[in-house]
Amino acid sequence: MSQPPAIPFDNPLHLGQEVGVEAIIGADEWPVFNMNVDIAIVGAGLAGLTAAHPLQAAGYSLLLLEKSRGLGGRLASYRLNGARCDRGLRYLTEEGRLLSGLVRSLRERHVIRPWITASHRYTAEGLQPNSPQTHYVAPEGMSQIAKELGRDVPVWYSRRVAAITPQAPGWRVRLEAVRAGSDAPLEVTARAVILAIPAPQAVTILDTVPGMNADVMNRLQSVTYDPCLTLLAQYSGNRVPAEIPWRSVEFPGDPDLSWLGLDSSKRESSSSGSDRPLVVINSSAELARSHLDDSDVTEVIEHLLSQGAARLGSWLQTPEHRHLHRWRYAIPAQVWPQDTVVLDTRAPLVCCGDWCGSRQVETALRSGLAAASSVNYQLDHRSLTAISQLWEAQG
Ligand SMILES: Cc1cc2nc3c(=O)[nH]c(=O)nc-3n(C[C@H](O)[C@H](O)[C@H](O)COP(=O)(O)OP(=O)(O)OC[C@H]3O[C@@H](n4cnc5c(N)ncnc54)[C@H](O)[C@@H]3O)c2cc1C
């Protein structure tokens, strides 16, 4: 069998778009093909993309392996009845050193812009303003942030990493095709692997690695996430009040709701938010836990709508279009106390993600960078460029 070809990284077919196997080597060759890279990164969310940048800039060949069809993970956008909306990350604020740098860079690139300067919270006293803080959003949808960050990174989509096994000098990564047409190759070999996915999903992969330290595995199993049900609801303009006095409302301590936002006001075409309002309702973790596996979601959708209507206006009860998304791993609850998990294996194997701390996006950025640094330290000790410089250069 011939030697596996290296990824032609200078081929624009690989950059910022789906890497089809046929595009790489020609359809008639792929059955004998085995992709070989320095570093395989599992998960193309914020942590995986952040880990990729300094390593790629340092000259490592790498490949992101992503089970879904697009970049971003929980930076997720959706089209409801043709209208763009965000069903994951709601907005960015300048909380944290890395996040502030990212916000600055994305603003300069016109990917995000200020949305509101003050949000609200709903309590027993009714609607209360929060302290002023600028919230930034991407008018093209928050997934645009991931598209921008992943512009130059090679990615294989629709492939779930099912197992990794040691194969000197590194790892053999076994993939499962998630949709038809992406069924080969089903293996990647890499000198190092970064698992940039929620801890419970990382555990199922680590379970396939022989000789994992039982204590570390037990501690990893104690990392947990809160689930969330996200309801997208679009309303007909003539049933909506002319002025809607809120944009982003939190519900501290509420048994049913955690957040409700006027998503349509993030975008130019309906900046008043009143021509065809689109509202995003996030459930509480408690409600999500009770309904996460419901086969019929009609009842929970009606419940979310009536809870929103009871608090913020009866018009919220009757949308024209609706869509419910279930997040099993929405927000880290029980977190890992360090920036990464560096496993004690012969070849580098490191886990990262927003569960390595309690600051969500800031943690995902920090953890991705720490994973890159750890893998570089274990491989070739190359000089890594600061992420702020890489973001600046990308702009
Ligand atoms: C509804 C909602 C609202 C939120 N709002 C905010 C907010 O306002 N502020 C804030 O800071 N944070 C918020 N967050 C959290 C924030 O989105 C996350 O902290 C952050 O995006 C996590 O990035 P990540 O890279 O760690 O994980 P993810 O984004 O989950 O990325 C992991 C990726 O790995 C992929 N994957 C998983 N398993 C495999 C496998 N076996 N093989 C291949 N690929 C795999 C997944 O498909 C995914 O793309 C919100 C989250 C949700 C769900």
Looking up residue 262, the CATH number of its domain turns out to be 3.90.660.10
Model confidence at 150: pLDDT above 90: yes
Distance CA 52, CA 156 (A): 14
- pLDDT for res 377: 98
Kindly calculate the radius of gyration of the chain based on its CA atoms and give it in whole angstroms: 22
Give the H or E element holding residue 386.
none
Q: Please check whether residue 364 is in contact with residue 355, taking contact to mean a CB–CB distance below 8 angstroms.
A: no
Among 292, 309, 333, the domain-final residue is: 333
In this structure, is residue 81 part of a structural domain? Answer: no
pTM: 0.92
Distance CA 85, CA 299 (A): 23
- pLDDT for res 395: 81
Q: Which atom of ligand 1 is nearest to the CA of 361?
A: 11
**CB neighbours (10 Å) of residue 289?**
14
In this structure, is residue 245 part of a structural domain? Answer: yes
Q: Same structural domain for residues 180 and 54? A: yes
Q: What is the pLDDT of residues 292-338, one digit of tens each?
A: 999 999 999 999 999 999 999 999 999 999 999 999 999 999 999 99
- pLDDT for res 184: 64
Q: How many domains does the chain have?
A: 2
Protein residue whose Cα sits closest to atom 49 of ligand 1? 73
Q: Same structural domain for residues 102 and 61? A: no
Q: Which atom of ligand 1 is nearest to the CA of 65?
A: 43
If one residue of 197, 206, 325 were mutated to test the ligand 1 pocket, choosing by the most ligand atoms within 8 A of its CB, it would be: 197
If one residue of 50, 63, 86, 89 were mutated to test the ligand 1 pocket, choosing by the most ligand atoms within 8 A of its CB, it would be: 89
**CB neighbours (10 Å) of residue 135?**
20
Protein residue whose Cα sits closest to atom 23 of ligand 1? 46
Query: Which residues have any ligand 1 atom within 6 Å of their CB?
Result: 42-48, 65-68, 73-75, 88-91, 160-161, 196-198, 201, 228, 230, 282, 327, 330-331, 353-354, 360-361, 364
In this structure, is residue 78 part of a structural domain? Answer: no
Q: Same structural domain for residues 35 and 136? A: no
Q: Which domain holds residue 306?
A: 90-141+224-333
In this structure, is residue 34 part of a structural domain? Answer: yes
- pLDDT for res 181: 65
Distance CA 276, CA 366 (A): 38
Q: Same structural domain for residues 242 and 282? A: yes
Q: Same structural domain for residues 237 and 307? A: yes
- CATH number of the domain enclosing 384: 3.50.50.60
Distance CA 280, CA 88 (A): 10
Q: Same structural domain for residues 176 and 285? A: no
Mean pLDDT of 7-23: 33
Model confidence at 272: pLDDT above 80: no
Q: Please check whether residue 53 is in contact with residue 370, taking contact to mean a CB–CB distance below 8 angstroms.
A: no
In this structure, is residue 128 part of a structural domain? Answer: yes
**CB neighbours (10 Å) of residue 163?**
15
Of 210, 190, 192, 161, which Cα lies nearest the Cα of 347? 192
Q: Which atom of ligand 1 is nearest to the CA of 71?
A: 49
Residue 90 makes CB contacts below 8 A (sequence gap 6+) with 137, 142, 248, 259, 261, 280, 282
CA 125 – ligand 1 centroid, Å? 33
Residue 173, SS3 per DSSP = strand
CA 349 – ligand 1 centroid, Å? 20
Among 302, 333, 364, the domain-final residue is: 333
Q: Same structural domain for residues 45 and 167? A: yes
Mean pLDDT of 362-369: 98
Cα separation values, 354 from 5, 100, 288, Å: 34, 17, 20
Model confidence at 35: pLDDT above 90: no
Among 284, 313, 333, the domain-final residue is: 333
If one residue of 78, 359, 360 were mutated to test the ligand 1 pocket, choosing by the most ligand atoms within 8 A of its CB, it would be: 360
In this structure, is residue 82 part of a structural domain? Answer: no
Residue 338, SS3 per DSSP = coil
Q: Same structural domain for residues 195 and 299? A: no
In this structure, is residue 83 part of a structural domain? Answer: no
Q: Same structural domain for residues 369 and 380? A: yes
Protein residue whose Cα sits closest to atom 22 of ligand 1? 354
Alpha helices of the chain — where are they, by DSSP H? 21-25, 46-57, 97-108, 143-149, 199-206, 214-221, 285-291, 298-312, 361-378, 387-394
Q: Please check whether residue 371 is in contact with residue 352, taking contact to mean a CB–CB distance below 8 angstroms.
A: yes
In this structure, is residue 4 part of a structural domain? Answer: no
If one residue of 74, 159, 325 were mutated to test the ligand 1 pocket, choosing by the most ligand atoms within 8 A of its CB, it would be: 74
Q: Same structural domain for residues 234 and 126? A: yes
Q: Same structural domain for residues 258 and 373? A: no
Q: Same structural domain for residues 53 and 177? A: yes
